[in-house]
Amino acid sequence: MAVWAPPPAMKVGEWAAERLYLSPEDSDLHGKYSAEIAPYQTGIMNAFNEEGVEEIVVKSSSQIGKTLVLKAACGYFMDVDPSPILVVQPTGDMAETFSKDRLAPMIRDTPSLRGKVRDAKSRDSGNTILRKQFLGGHITMIGANAPAGLASRPIRVLLFDEVDRYPPSAGTEGDPVDLGRKRAITYRHRKRVALFSTPTIKGKSRIDRAWLLSDQRQYFVPCPHCGHRHVLSWSNVSITDDDPSTAMLRCPECAALIGDEHKQFMLRHGEWVKGSPRSKVAGFHINELYSPWRKFAEIATDYNNAKGNPEQEKTWWNTSMGETFEDVGTKVDGESMMSRREAYDGDELPEEVFTIAAGVDCQDDRLEIEIVGWGAGEESWGIEYHVLPGKPSLPDVWATLDDMLLNARFTTKDGRRLRIAACCIDSGGHHTQEVYEFCTPRVGRNIWATMGRFGAIPVWPKRASVSKKHVGHTVRVIGVDTAKETVYSRWQIADRGVAGYCHFPTSYDHTWFHQATIERRITTYDKRGREVRTWKCPRGARNEATDCRVLAYAALQGLKIERRMVLRKSEAPPEVKTEPKQKEIESASKPVVAARRVMQSRYLSRR
């Protein structure tokens, strides 16, 4: 009869403070839960009991305890208000991990939950990894990629975790969150739907879109000096002499500095304030600056390490500030890149240049070549860009290219003489046979015929592919999308000295920078709803500069893999003479076999 009795007048936050125990598997502070450590969690928990609220959105950084809020909601609706509960994780494997590492230990260590679920070892216990029955309800855990799990029986409490990592469609059924919501439509009692996630890319983030439609609550805390209430944001962080260890908050009202020692006082006296009160969706946004487990200096150090690298910056803004980040590849500014040009040339390269690679793009009436120097951390220096006029179907243009690749010499400031150590030539156009005939006898000089392939594949293949149409020739299939992702990310690195920074000589003109930044990344979805990111060039536009840099980058990867070359800051590798004896090539009846012999003999000589 107790099942039919009304639930006690207890909120989720009160239940957690009174009954929840933290497990050693997922918390350093294991034992009885204390709401005093992170008081902002109580406001999120109590939204489950707030009058008129049926949906909750939590957009947050990591390290603020959102998983604990999710667990507290599960425990409350198992113990106090028994209900059918569905927890949706991005994948089935993550659902199993949540069940084993988070839910099962909480049930074991929280006395009021212990015994609610029967022993999994007993027959017909109703307790499996992904489904646990209790008196008055059950808790089921599924992956967002499983349409069957999202379209079965009615659910009263829906908990969506890390929604920005969900696939765009559960199979062919549609959006996983929308499918889950439909399971709560027919439930007679007031339903609860909660979305938790760190945000991702601006304009594509599920949690960000949901938060913008909510009442947009933020946690206002008082200044310990003047009492002014404000939101903790990165713009209020003060750092002295670019030393992240000096990081402190500065009050936007009185400009007084606020240290880590003041954080607990501010958290205890903080309150959630609605930014858009008309919405009936309870939305919460909080970042890592509020976390009692993170010091301001640690957060600033993470930012300092990520600064200048767009991919690392994206991760920092997502996971530390709980903010979206603009998509890489959609904001590359050729004008700003052009303003970074430097006065150097091939006769006086910086001493940081360790090796040189080239990329050749084959057009119907010309060859275009970029020669690039590479240093530690794949820092790059554009050296020369050439356009060789002539039809690739005729031998003259290839003879000019051969002379350039063979005889070009570049001098560094410390007196080293470098030659082109590797070169990739695109064979995917109308002159595949000519490219193969040029590259095959020169493979001992690391001149490789390449063919681009779209999709998420490595830049450099594990092994060369044998051409079926062109007998006796091999080709390296390179991941052009992966390479462009890296190249475009590095175009945006604006701080010198950061790994991957790109230098440009004054000889590169406006046309080069326009071609280098003309492509845009487009996100589409395949038949199974999986995200597919591709690069598109506007119709009629030229992108040879991009293609040449991608090929030069692929040549570097091939050099590193096939020669096991390591770029070190402490020492520059000695120049390797890779020119084979021309007589060996000419006398061989099968050029591929001869080239392999040359490579083997030179490898043994270096050993």
Assess whether pLDDT exceeds 80 at residue 327.
Answer: no
Report d(CA 595, CA 607) in Å as an integer.
18
What is the rounded distance in angstroms from the CA atom of residue 534 to the CA atom of residue 289? 36
Once rounded to an integer, what is the mean pLDDT over residues 429-439? Answer: 91
Place 570 in a pLDDT band, splitting at 50, 70 and 90. Answer: very low
DSSP tag of 335: H
State mean pLDDT over 43-47: 95
Question: Pairing between strand 217-222 and 271-274?
Answer: antiparallel
Query: Which residues, listed in sequence order, are joined to residue 591 by a DSSP beta bridge?
Result: none
Which SS3 state, helix, strand or coil, does residue 305 take? helix
Q: Is it the case that residue 333 has pLDDT exceeding 70?
A: yes
Whole-number pLDDT of residue 50: 92
Residue 436: its pLDDT value, please?
94
* Residue 599 confidence (pLDDT) above 70: no
Rg of the chain in Å (alpha carbons):
30
pLDDT confidence band for 214 (50 / 70 / 90):
very high
Structure-derived torsion over alpha carbons of residues 100, 102, 103, 107, reported in degrees to the nearest 10: 100
Residue 165 tokens, joined: 């990592």
* Structure-token pair, residue 524: 């589409």
Mean pLDDT confidence for 500-524? 89
Residue 381, pLDDT > 50, answer yes
Please, what sign has the CA dihedral across residues 179, 183, 189, 192? Answer: negative
Token look-up 């080709």 returns 475
Q: Which residues have a Cβ under 8 Å from the Cβ of 98 and sit 6 or more positions away?
A: 87, 89, 141, 161
Ranges 59-63, 152-156, 169-173, 350-354: which has the least confidence:
169-173
pLDDT value of residue 192: 83
Rounded Cα–Cα distance for residues 284 and 290 (Å): 13
Among 81, 106, 97, 96, smallest CA distance to 27 is for 106
pLDDT score at 577: 45
Per-residue pLDDT, 261: 95
Token pair 């880590």: residue: 260
pLDDT for the residue 540: 83
Task: State the pLDDT at residue 601.
Answer: 56
59-73, 140-154, 254-268, 433-447: which range is least confident on average?
140-154
Q: Tell me the C-alpha distance between 175 and 171, whole Å.
A: 9
- Percentage of the chain beyond pLDDT 70 is 85
Residue 593 confidence class, pLDDT cut points 50, 70, 90: very low
- Find out whether 518 and 543 touch, Cβ atoms under 8 Å: yes
How many Å apart are CA 280 and CA 274, to the nearest integer?
A: 11
Question: What pLDDT, in 10s, does the model give residues 448-479?
Answer: 999 999 887 899 998 888 887 777 899 999 99
